[in-house]
Structure 1
Amino acid sequence: MYFQLGWQHIINWDAYDHILFVIALSAIYLLCDWRKVLILVTAFTIGHSITLALSVLHIIRIPGPIIEFLIPVTICITALSNILRKDEEPQKLQLNYFYALFFGLIHGLGFSNYLKSLLGSQANIVKPLLGFNLGLEFGQIIIVMCILLLSTIIVKIGQLKRRDWNMFLSSATFGMAFLMVIQGVRALFF
């Protein structure tokens, strides 16, 4: 049940902030890079699994408005990093791996309220937490594969330069996330 909730939560448009982050992480890759992207998505899942567990166990508590502000900031930073990159093709070790793990910690806090409401006062959270996280990973892989397939079609078949596609996709993602940052600032201060 929790596995299904995890992947359905990610694929649902209500989780568009998470979808945008996955797009920002994947924007520089093509289908032939799927192994690198799988590592990225797994690093992200590890990061958000840690804070999701810590938050559900009430070990850490950060107010929702702060998290709702920080999530789009992570998207903006990742997209901007893509825009500013000089290489057309991603190198083996890069900043995106750090972003995936570290920013996953922040995104996990965003999921925690949703998962806490599902768990209620359940005593054993290990199986539900594991199922939910595996579902999230599965949903992320579906999104990533769609992005990689689209990117490959546009770059290889559509003959668009890889750098131009990255600029377009990362700029669009940055723009949407920046609007979310502005909304987050309003929620925090006004």
Structure 2
Amino acid sequence: MSEFWVYLQLGFSHITDPGGYDHILFVIALCTIYTLNQWKQVLILVTAFTIGHSITLALATLRLINYSTDLIELLIPITILITAFTNFSHKFPVNRFAVDEKKSSVRYGLALAFGLIHGMGFSNYLRSLLGTETSIVKPLLAFNLGLELGQLLIVAIFLSIAFAAIEILRVRKHDWNLIISGIVVGMAFSLILNNEYLAELMK
């Protein structure tokens, strides 16, 4: 098995691992207000997140930026919490294909900015895998591609479930948004409250 394929699989496994579900929660929070027929908007949104985490993943893995790992581990659930909270104020248009360009631009910017934080979180895992590797460009590219494929799988599964709930079971989009966003908020709060860095700061 080639080195490229190994790191691609590791990237895919890392983001889809239920044991490290914080990144999954963030992707779900981003996509909650959308349905399957809005896949183009979702693709742009996910691309913005990918651009963000690709930048800091590369910079951190190449050790061009320094940061507190503990702080990043605290900031990640905070980004989840903020994203889920923004869903509560979302108003669904009568026309399901209508796009509020102003709100969309803000959301894309949010995804890009928060992607920068998540990229630093991804880099912690990648650097532990690399060890004393002399050339990290190929592993970095493969790992990032694996992350992207895993991310797209999460989006596809979630939007399919949303489609089934809204179009088949006839759950109102507003109710779906409140339920899923509420669950994400609760889980994000749990991650924040159980964060060891925060516990140290509170002492």
Checking the alignment, whether the CA contact within 8 Å between 1:65 and 1:188 is kept in structure 2 is: no
The aligned residue for residue 184 of structure 2 is 173
Partner of 1:15: 20
Question: Which residue of the other structure, out of 146, 156, 165, is the alignment partner of 1:145?
Answer: 156
1:186 equivalent in structure 2: 199
Query: Which position in structure 2 is the counterpart of 1:108?
Result: 119
Inter-partner Cα distance in structure 2 for 1:55 and 1:108: 8
- 1:32 is paired with a residue whose SS is helix
Partner amino acid for 1:102?
Answer: A
Corresponding residue to 1:74 among 68, 76, 79: 79
| Contact 1:2/1:135 (<8 A) preserved | yes
Contact preservation (8 Å) 2:8, 2:145? yes
Query: In 1, distance between residues paired with 2:46 and 2:130?
Result: 25
| AA aligned opposite 1:186 | A
| Alpha-carbon separation, structure 2, partners of 1:138 and 1:187 | 36
Could you tell me which residue of structure 1 aligns to residue 3 of structure 2?
none
Say whether the 8 Å CA contact 2:50–2:148 is kept in structure 1.
Answer: yes
**CA RMSD for the aligned pairs?**
1.4
The count of corresponding residues between Structure 1 and Structure 2 is 190
Instruction: Output one character per residue of 1:80-133: Cα deviation in whole Å (capped at 9) or x when no partner.
Output: 000122335663434221121100000011111100011112122111111111
Structure with larger Rg: 2
Q: Residue 2 in 1 paired to residue 7 in 2? A: yes
TM-score by length of 2: 0.89
The amino acid that maps onto 1:117 is S
What are the residue-to-residue correspondences of 1:124-139 with 2, within 5 Å?
A: 124-139=135-150
CA contact (8 A) 1:27 1:166 kept: yes
Q: Find the aligned partners of 1:130 and 1:163 in 2 and give their Cα distance.
A: 39
Match for residue 169 of structure 2?
A: 158
Residue of structure 2 equivalent to 1:91: 100
TM-score normalized with structure 1 length: 0.94
User: Where do residues 48-67 of structure 1 align in structure 2 (5 Å cutoff)?
Assistant: 48-67=53-72
- Name the aligned partner's letter for residue 132 of structure 2: S
Preserved CA contact (<8 Å) 2:92 2:173: no
More moved, 89-98 vs 6-15:
89-98
Alpha carbons 2:33, 2:90 under 8 Å: kept = no
The runs of at least 4 consecutive aligned structure 1 residues that moved more than 4 Å come to none
